[in-house]
Structure 1
Amino acid sequence: MIEELRKHQKDGRRYERRADTTSVLRQIESLSQEQLVERARIGAKTDPLYLSSECLLHRIRQSRRDNSDRFFESLFRILMARVESAATLRSEIYRLPNGKIAITAFGTKVRDYVVDRFLARLMADRDGYDERLDYFEVNFSHAIASLRVTAKKKAADEERRSQPLSSDDDEAVSAEVEKAAGAFDPFDASKIDDGNYRFRLFAAIKELPEKERHVVALLFKEYPIESNDPDKPSICKILGCVEKTVRNRRDRAFEKLKTALSEEEIDA
């Protein structure tokens, strides 16, 4: 018999699995542990024997009654691989010049947050019953997506808090930050020709505050910050700002771009 979910919605109704999920759970009740693991290993969703993550999670939760660590571990590895894949933002993945796959620092933070939170729920459920997993049996993809949204917000907040830059255009940035920003060139000719780098760079530029984004865009078009020639356009003239303000915005922008473009290599 398939155990009902325990968590209740705001209107008092219990969460209920989708009809197709319940149907498959009934079909696999008679499978042996070995047969179930083989079904779980099917990775193609188009395969008629593919086991949905909702079903896989249910069987993992029920495995605490089977007294078989080996069975649990086999299903656990398969499910966690799915969670990690779903937690990884495709926009944060790129290919390095050497052909290896990498993920940005931001993408790593988001992925790790989702995986850690899901794992904590699963381990708590293993020790008893964690109602926070019930919705994952209803709509696994949406539940993971909700964790992803929270993870992105927290990662963005963390990056803003760790940013040692003033938001005041007239307040000079620290000498350390100015030096670091000056040593970093996002338009380095040795990198800019690489398609993956350009994609990540332009995506990061889009996330900059409007004033900083305007400065970076003009620098990319090779406008000088200041010019002694009254007939030659400069960033200061175009934006109507003094040189100090433009340089402060540039340094803030470059520091953010440097952070956004930081990368963690992962196995292909």
Structure 2
Amino acid sequence: MIEPLRKHRKDGRLYERRAETTAMLMQLEGLAFDQLVERAKIRSKTDPLYLPTECLLHFVRRSKRDNSDRSFEILFRILLARVENAATLHSTMHRLEYGEIAITAFGSKVKNDVVDRFLARLVSDRDGYDERLDYFEVNFSHAIASLRSTAKLKAAEEEKRSQPLSSDDDEEISAEVEKAAGSFDPFDKSKIDDGNYRFRLFAVIKELPDKERHVVALLFKEYPIESNDPDKPSICKILGCVEKTVRNRRDRAFEKLRTALSEEEIDA
């Protein structure tokens, strides 16, 4: 029997696996364990016998119910390899002189953070039931993408703190950043209606520095940056900042959002 997920959406409905995932799980239940393992080892997604990671995770979690440490250990190693691969930013990988593949320090930080946070959820699930894993059974790629977005912002902030800081909010930003940010609209109507896009966007916004996040949140609510109407609230009035400061915070935030979301499209 395929147990339903337990996590609730904001409207009270339970999360549900995709129909194709549920159908495959029902077929896989009849397989001998060794056959399941062989399916799980297939790495090519184009192979008709490829086992989606949503299904693999389900059987890893279910091994607790089956009280089988052996099943868990075997399937866990395969799952961990997939998580590590999904956590790796391919843009941070490069080939060394002798053909070996290396990853930058930034990429290592991101990968380790994603893996650590996933493992923390899995350990918690083994001890009881961690609802945070439920979405991974619904859409593994986007769940990992969310962890990657957070990890990239965290790693970037750590690098920023290790460099000389600028405390002037009104400091001129580079023309390149201003141009890139100005041509990017994170709240584009053609994208914002996509649930997956909103999920990734809000995950990245959540990790922005407070000052930048406040500006983005007000822009999302369609407050104008400045207003000549004394009775009309503006971002400048709400935050007590001059227009230049608000625009600088917006441009810095938009550039971070643009970079994070464009990388998600490449790495997903």
TM interval, shorter chain, is: 0.5 to 0.7
Instruction: Give the 4+ runs in structure 1 shifted more than 3 A.
Output: none
Q: Which residue of 1 aligns with 2:174?
A: 210
**Higher relative contact order, structure no. (Cα contacts within 8 Å, ≥ 6 residues apart):** 1
Q: Which residue of 1 aligns with 2:138?
A: 138
Deviation of residue 168 (structure 1)? 7.3
Q: Tell me, what secondary structure is at the counterpart of 1:102?
A: strand
Amino acid at match of 2:25: L
TM-score, normalised to structure 2's length?
A: 0.62
Q: Which residue of 2 aligns with 1:261?
A: none
Q: Does 1:77 align with 2:77?
A: yes
TM-score, normalised to structure 1's length?
A: 0.62
| Stretches of structure 1 lacking an aligned partner (at least 5 in a row) | 170-208, 214-268
Change (3 A) 1:168 1:130: closer
CA–CA distance in structure 1, aligned partners of residues 76 and 87 of structure 2: 16
**Alignment length (residue pairs):** 173
Query: Deviation string for 1:173-215 (max 9, x for gaps)?
Result: xxxxxxxxxxxxxxxxxxxxxxxxxxxxxxxxxxxx63899xx
Q: Which residue of 2 aligns with 1:112?
A: 112
Deviates more, 1:97-106 or 1:138-147: 97-106
Deviation of residue 17 (structure 1)? 0.2
Q: Which residue of 1 aligns with 2:166?
A: 167
Deviation of residue 78 (structure 1)? 0.6
Query: Deviation string for 1:78-126 (max 9, x for gaps)?
Result: 1110100010001000011232111000000000000000001011101
For the aligned residues, what is the CA RMSD? 1.8
Deviation of residue 36 (structure 1)? 1.1
Deviation of residue 162 (structure 1)? 1.8
Give the 5 Å matches for 1:40-119.
40-119=40-119
Deviates more, 1:98-107 or 1:113-122: 98-107
Give the 5 Å matches for 1:184-203.
none
Change (3 A) 1:71 1:211: same
Q: Percent identity?
A: 72
Change (3 A) 1:166 1:124: closer
Query: Deviation string for 1:3-24 (max 9, x for gaps)?
Result: 0000000111100000000000
Q: Which residue of 2 aligns with 1:232?
A: none
CA–CA distance in structure 2, aligned partners of residues 9 and 166 of structure 1: 40
